Amino acid sequence: MRLLDLTLETPEENLALDEALLVAAEEGAGGEVLRLWEPAGTMVVVGSSSRVEKEVQLAACQKDRIPVLRRSSGGAAIVTGPGCLMYAVVLDLRLRPDLRAIDRAHRHVLNLIAGALGSLVPNVARRGTSDLAIADRKFSGNSLRVKRDHLLYHGTLLYDFALSQIAAYLATPPRQPEYRAGREHADFVTNLPLSSTAIRDVLIHAFDAVDLVGDWPQELTKQLAADKFANPAWTHRF
């Protein structure tokens, strides 16, 4: 697998690059890749089918000039920013046909990451459908998008994030995993007690990302950022 450790200038470009890597792989111009990045500023990202007004504290975001964007994968809204390492992995379904089953895709990626992190932090486990937690405190939310021959699996890893921002910019989620047990954000979410460098090393080793990406889909990323991720009609389609 190849490695791309790259944070782009704008939130829209960073969302677009994840999708561009998936599209490029489908077109035979990318293959399997692990991408790592970290936002320079706080932003809210809703899922592909999220209803913005139900999941986001829009007035607070507008007051504090926090961008609200929509990704193309599923799941609920998240807040991310400095202190949150983002990862994305593109996997080839022709090489891994069992991952065409969504539950197996979640299990494969999250068990791989949990096992790798578990060597450094006790009690790391997959919880719910697509979370990683230390015991019953979530530090990672994840989602996926599947195309014909490849899937994009991406998510967050909180390690030094200002956790108060979650309640400030997100409403209570309309769908909650059972293990949350009705807890408020402050009682449910935690930071992983590792540095960004340590988490990067864990992910690179877990996915065996040994080859550095020399070329990435720059033009497609710019096009997707401009036409889709920066387009209010896409962000507020629900």
Residue 196 counted as domain residue: yes
Sheet with 68-70: list strands edge to edge: 68-70, 43-46, 78-80
Residue 111 counted as domain residue: no
Q: Which of 83, 91, 140 is nearest to 116 (CA)?
A: 140
Name 137's bridge partners.
Answer: 134
The pLDDT tens digits of the residues spanning 199-213 come to 999 999 999 998 898
Residue 112 counted as domain residue: no
Residue 130 counted as domain residue: no
- What CA–CA distance (Å, rounded) separates 110 from 129? 10
Number of domains observed in the structure of the chain: 1
Query: What is the bridge-based pairing of β-strands 2-5 and 43-46?
Result: unpaired
Give residue 218's domain range: 2-93+144-173+191-235
At residue 157, the pLDDT reads 98
Q: Which residues are within 8 A (CB) of 177 and not within 5 positions of it... i.e. 6 or more apart?
A: 127, 128, 129, 131
Residue 91: pLDDT over 90: yes
Residue 100 counted as domain residue: no
Write the CATH number for 150: 3.30.930.10
Q: Which of 166, 160, 154 is nearest to 113 (CA)?
A: 154
Residue 68 counted as domain residue: yes
Q: What's the number of CA atoms in the CB half-sphere (13 Å) around residue 172?
A: 7
Residue 99 counted as domain residue: no
Residue 231 counted as domain residue: yes
At residue 190, the pLDDT reads 98
The pLDDT tens digits of the residues spanning 9-63 come to 999 999 999 999 999 999 998 899 999 999 999 999 999 999 999 999 999 999 9
Average pLDDT, integer, range 103-124:
97
The pLDDT tens digits of the residues spanning 133-190 come to 999 999 999 999 999 999 999 999 999 999 999 999 999 998 899 999 999 999 999 9
